[in-house]
């Protein structure tokens, strides 16, 4: 947990994790202890087709119930992995449901529906646009989808293509931990909430009060008076680059570069319909902000 300059509390969590209950390498107990030792406040154990329960661990970790459901085997037909987080009751998803019905069941059961790792699944716009307005968020970065186990950890391009069609999806970075090597305690979310309870964390995620990072912290705001999108980072987080992703293929101002950047801004040109910010620190670690929709 950290407190920002305005006194807001931010809680650290991983929303996608596997254990020996499915194909992960650590037991649930060891997994929880590992993440707790790395300063996590909440964790969702999301084993394949095995629902975990809402609870608080003995060492104080908030555990959100979780499960990952997969549909489709071939890219050409569409691969959809849907992660349920924080359900109040078993959503009773079956393999016959398909992604859309599974998402609806998860939300009807009080949980969040995450469309997992769209780049790894090689999801297309045609596959994802029908899910707009149904999923709670998708994954901008998925640690286990990186080398050496996989090769497509980053889903920024499909997320920006969606936004360019007006489908502005919330995004989270997750570990999707399996091997407990480079895929553990790497990419996480900070959620702004008054307290670290299931209700408060889920409400904040639904409201978009969260962002993702491997280390550098950030605050992204729309400044209507100055007609720009502003970014603030703590000096101690050593941010060396701020990048602005938009739906203008060319822009004269794509990134700000420097040492220990604390303030940066993207002046709107009137042509972009969204701005999505990424930051990178001196060690190359990324932070990913929520997409800001721009009304022109
Ligand atoms: Zn998956
Ligand atoms: Zn997974």
Ligand 1 centre distance from Cα of residue 120 (Å) = 8
Ligand 1 centre distance from Cα of residue 9 (Å) = 30
Q: What is the mean pLDDT of residues 48-52?
A: 98
Ligand whose nearest atom lies closest to the CA of 46: 2
Which residue segments constitute the domains of the chain, with CATH numbers given? 2-212 (3.20.20.140), 219-293 (2.60.40)
Ligand 2 centre distance from Cα of residue 75 (Å) = 17
pLDDT at 179 over 80: yes
What pLDDT score does 110 carry? 98
Ligand 2 centre distance from Cα of residue 46 (Å) = 7
Residues 6+ apart with CB under 8 A from 103: 82, 113, 115, 131, 134, 135
Ligand 1 centre distance from Cα of residue 43 (Å) = 17
Q: Per residue in 235-256, pLDDT tens?
A: 999 999 999 999 999 998 999 9
Ligand 2 centre distance from Cα of residue 153 (Å) = 12
Ligand whose nearest atom lies closest to the CA of 116: 1
Q: Per residue in 210-227, pLDDT tens?
A: 999 999 999 999 999 999
Query: Is pLDDT larger for residue 37 or for residue 295?
Result: 37
What pLDDT score does 91 carry? 98
Ligand 2 centre distance from Cα of residue 226 (Å) = 42
What is the pLDDT of the chain when averaged over all its residues? 97
Task: Assign 295 a pLDDT band (cuts: 50, 70, 90).
Answer: confident
Q: Per residue in 100-114, pLDDT tens?
A: 999 999 999 999 999
What pLDDT score does 169 carry? 98
Ligand 2 centre distance from Cα of residue 277 (Å) = 25
Q: What is the mean pLDDT of residues 278-288?
A: 98
- What does pTM read for this prediction? 0.98
Question: Could you tell me what percent of the chain has a pLDDT over 70?
Answer: 100
Ligand whose nearest atom lies closest to the CA of 71: 1
Give Rg (Cα) of the chain. 18
What pLDDT score does 288 carry? 99
Q: Per residue in 101-147, pLDDT tens?
A: 999 999 999 999 999 999 999 999 999 999 999 999 999 999 999 99
What pLDDT score does 97 carry? 98
Ligand whose nearest atom lies closest to the CA of 16: 2
Q: Per residue in 62-111, pLDDT tens?
A: 999 999 999 999 999 999 999 999 999 999 999 999 999 999 999 999 99
What pLDDT score does 255 carry? 98
Q: What is the mean pLDDT of residues 152-178?
A: 98
Ligand 1 centre distance from Cα of residue 260 (Å) = 36
Ligand whose nearest atom lies closest to the CA of 66: 2
pLDDT at 296 over 80: no
């Amino acid at each position: 947990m950290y407190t920002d300059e305005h006194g807001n509390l931010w809680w650290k969590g991983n929303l996608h994790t596997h254990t020996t209950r499915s194909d992960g390498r650590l037991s649930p107990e060891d997994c929880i202890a590992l993440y707790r030792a790395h300063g996590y406040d909440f964790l969702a154990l999301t084993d394949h087709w095995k629902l975990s329960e809402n609870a608080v661990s003995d060492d104080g970790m908030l555990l959100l119930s979780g499960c990952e459901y997969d549909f489709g085997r071939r890219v050409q037909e569409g691969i959809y992995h849907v992660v349920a987080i924080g359900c109040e009751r078993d959503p009773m998803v079956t393999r016959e449901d398909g992604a859309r019905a599974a998402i609806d069941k998860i939300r009807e059961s009080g949980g969040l529906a995450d469309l997992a790792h769209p780049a790894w699944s090689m999801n297309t716009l045609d596959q994802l646009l029908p899910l707009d307005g149904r999923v709670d968020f998708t994954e901008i970065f998925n640690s286990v989808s990186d080398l050496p186990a996989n090769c497509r950890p980053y889903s920024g391009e499909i997320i920006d293509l969606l936004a360019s069609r007006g489908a502005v999806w919330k995004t989270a970075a997750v570990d999707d931990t399996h091997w407990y090597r480079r895929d553990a305690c790497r990419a996480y979310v900070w959620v702004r909430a008054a307290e670290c309870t299931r209700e408060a964390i889920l409400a904040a995620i639904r409201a978009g009060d969260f962002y993702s990072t491997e280390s550098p912290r950030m605050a992204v705001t729309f400044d209507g008076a100055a007609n720009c999108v502003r970014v603030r980072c703590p000096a101690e987080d050593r941010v060396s680059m701020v990048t602005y992703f938009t739906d203008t293929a060319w822009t004269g101002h794509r990134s700000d570069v420097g040492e220990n950047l604390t303030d940066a801004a993207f002046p709107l040109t009137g042509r972009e319909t969204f701005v999505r910010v990424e930051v990178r620190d001196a060690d190359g670690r990324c932070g990913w902000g929520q997409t800001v929709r721009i009304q022109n």
